[in-house]
Amino acid sequence: MSPISRNILVTLLIGSALSGCSNEADAASGSEFIAENIQGVWACEMENERDGATLSMVGHTTYSPTGSYEATGLGVVYFETPFDQIRWVATSSGSFQVSDDKLTITTKKVEAQRLFPIGLSGVEAETVAQIENDLISPINNSNEQTSDYTITRLDTDRLDTINTDGTAWKCRKKSEANK
């Protein structure tokens, strides 16, 4: 698997888990966050540039009081121009824990489906096929994978995290009216 594909895959697998909130969540004090403040539905986004391509993701995640989560997201890899892109939808499920300023996501099942590529006039067909194969094939599995995120902000309507490779997620609480 190429370095870009491996980086995108890891970001997709773990990142698609992010987005959640609670209507009753209070602003956290100090560096201690509690799982109850994460519970609910979040809409999240991230954009990360690596190895000449940009990965953009948007998604929704529901964190339940039982410690489980379910997520759905849309991922797009942009190449040299925004008109050259590979898109896919993914779902994931598993569990989550909060300890101090860490959000630990354990992904138990991930499924992805490729959407038709757009443009890609400047990218060789073999490269597109390899990237799609590297992205989609390994995603559709039920191998457990755990990742830690540092919570950089958590209040009643915002959850921001960053993982060890520097990928930052910005999340907004979904209100009852717009779920």
Average pLDDT over residues 74-87: 79
Model pLDDT, residue 76: 86
Model pLDDT, residue 77: 81
Model pLDDT, residue 3: 41
| Whether residue 21 has pLDDT greater than 80 | no
Report the mean per-residue pLDDT for the chain. Answer: 75
Tell if the pTM clears 0.85, that is, is over it: no
Model pLDDT, residue 4: 43
Unique residue bearing structure tokens 């997520």 = 71
| Whether residue 17 has pLDDT greater than 50 | no
Model pLDDT, residue 176: 61
Cα dihedral value 157, 159, 160, 164, nearest 10: 180
Quote the number of domains for the chain.
1
Amino acid at 65: P
- Other beta carbons within 10 Å of 124: 9
Model pLDDT, residue 138: 60
Q: What is each CA distance from 150 to 85, 103, 147, 159, in whole angstroms?
A: 30, 6, 10, 11
Average pLDDT over residues 94-113: 89
Q: Which of 168, 174, 177 has the alpha carbon at shortest distance from 45?
A: 168
Q: Which domain holds residue 13?
A: 3-178
Q: pLDDT, tens digit, for every residue of 118-175?
A: 776 666 777 767 776 766 666 666 678 888 999 999 988 899 999 888 889 999 998 7
Structure tokens at 162: 């960053």
Model pLDDT, residue 162: 93
pLDDT band at 54 (very low <50, low <70, confident <90, very high): confident
* Position with higher pLDDT, 28 vs 32: 32
